[in-house]
Amino acid sequence: MTDKTRDMLARLNAILDEEDLLDQAAHSVQFDMETLCPVKGMEQKGEVLSYLTNKIFLLRRLPEFLEAAAFLYDARDELDEFDRALVESIHRHEVRTRRITPEQDREFSRIESKAYADWLSAKKASDFSLFAPSLTAVRDTELTRIELMEEKSPVRYDNLLDLYERGMTSFVLDDVFGRCKERLVPLLKKISGSPKKIRSDFLSRRVGDGAQERMARYLLDTIGFDMSRGALSTTEHPFTDSLGPDDERVTTHYYPEMFTSSMYSVIHEGGHGLFDQNQPRESFAHHISGLKTMGQHESVSRFYENIIGRSEAFISLIFPKAAEIFPDALSDVTEREFYEAVNIVRPSLIRTEADEFTYTFHVIIRYEIEKAIVNGDVRIEDLPELWNSRYREYLGVSPEDDRTGVLQDVHWTSGFGYFPTYALGNMYNAMYAARMRREFDLDGAVAEGRFDVINGWMKENVWKKADILSPREWILDITGRELTPDDFLDYLEKKYTALYGI
């Protein structure tokens, strides 16, 4: 490395050190907005958030930052793999944002903060019309962002998809989702026609928040989440956020008559937390800890939630503790009945409460709708009707109100392109779970609570290179194969034909 390259790298890192401090402050405000902030304080907190994010934006507009970034991008072959990943990510960011003015950036942030507050109000009132103006503003903001990109795909939606899953296109998604529908639609009909009846009455028995929180903490501890470097809180829509290398925030929501909802949201969010807690320290030192894509992240959260969390081995491990914490709900329930209940296939309205099998349909519906929004194929005011019709078409159910329909998810308050990553995550994790099973007895390790073995394998094979490889390179590195939905579909077919005896 030349002296000039070393000097430029030091200059870049000094500015990024300051950005990290501002980013942690911004995440703290965002976390507050989504957990504790009163409704009437949202707008003011939104102003604070937009101020901080604008300061971050301005840092990346400093002449010395731009000069160093441009120089290092041209000299990237001199850099190690961590710094090369950093300067390549900065270059991608610059190509997308260079033509956005500071005033526009701050206005975009205001629009998203207002959209979040309006969404909360609209969901509470179950009235989409209260959110429609803000959603229209978010859509227009996204279209403006696309227009200002220096390099962009002619397919509008692909430019947004790429922000969440680098290199992914709607052409690929149309293919993999088409293959999912081909195999899952007829299988859903067989399951619906099966004479097997799964008992689930106990799932709606009332359980207090205190008991649910005790179970949540037990589950996080069981899967290996480090509470000395993490925290658990509640929110309207569960999420996980990393505020630093030793500050991982997991959230959940307690429903008195749906105690397993929190259990599985905690395992899901705990999976995200494990990913962040176990990434290499070099990722933080080189300012690349945020380069993991959402598909990569969702693969891990849904691996712990479903492949592990809904397995017979995991239910065997946790059932005694669940029966101890929820004695009134589970006093007359067997371990087998509990396993079957948490895997029951039941077409439903709420994505976050969907069973493992029908979940993919919820993602496909959102993908098709948000692609139509961005590509100008649907009017915002027509979204409730379109949403309801897709649910009738794919799942045979229809929302009775906007709260359980088009307003159920928070994601569109900050833009489009996120939803497909949930399904991509299922495909990725089924691929690496297949390799894991070839290398050791996964079910045996789960049943014995040996998450040190599981997390050790994940750390070495899944988490270690996620910040420095593109998703395509990453899944190839783990499995030696290109992305395919086949492993995921094979997994579902094997599991649910056995469960329902079809």
Give burial (CB, 10 Å; 0-12/13-18/19+) of 195.
exposed
Give, in order, the Cα–Cα distances in Å from 209 to each of 108, 234, 258. Answer: 37, 10, 11
The dihedral of CA 25, 26, 30, 33: what is its sign?
positive
Q: How far apart are CA 10 and CA 68, in angstroms?
A: 9
Question: Smallest Cα–Cα separation from 294: which of 164, 472, 414, 167?
Answer: 164
Residues noted as catalytic: 269
Give burial (CB, 10 Å; 0-12/13-18/19+) of 300.
buried
Q: What residues have CB less than 8 Å from 288, skipping those under 6 apart?
A: 82, 85, 86, 89, 467, 468
State how far Cα 35 lies from the chain centre: 18
Give the tokens for residue 223: 């899967």
Give the tokens for residue 114: 């207002």
Q: How far apart are CA 103 and CA 192, in angstroms?
A: 54
Beta bridge partners of 241: 249
Give the tokens for residue 53: 């994010």
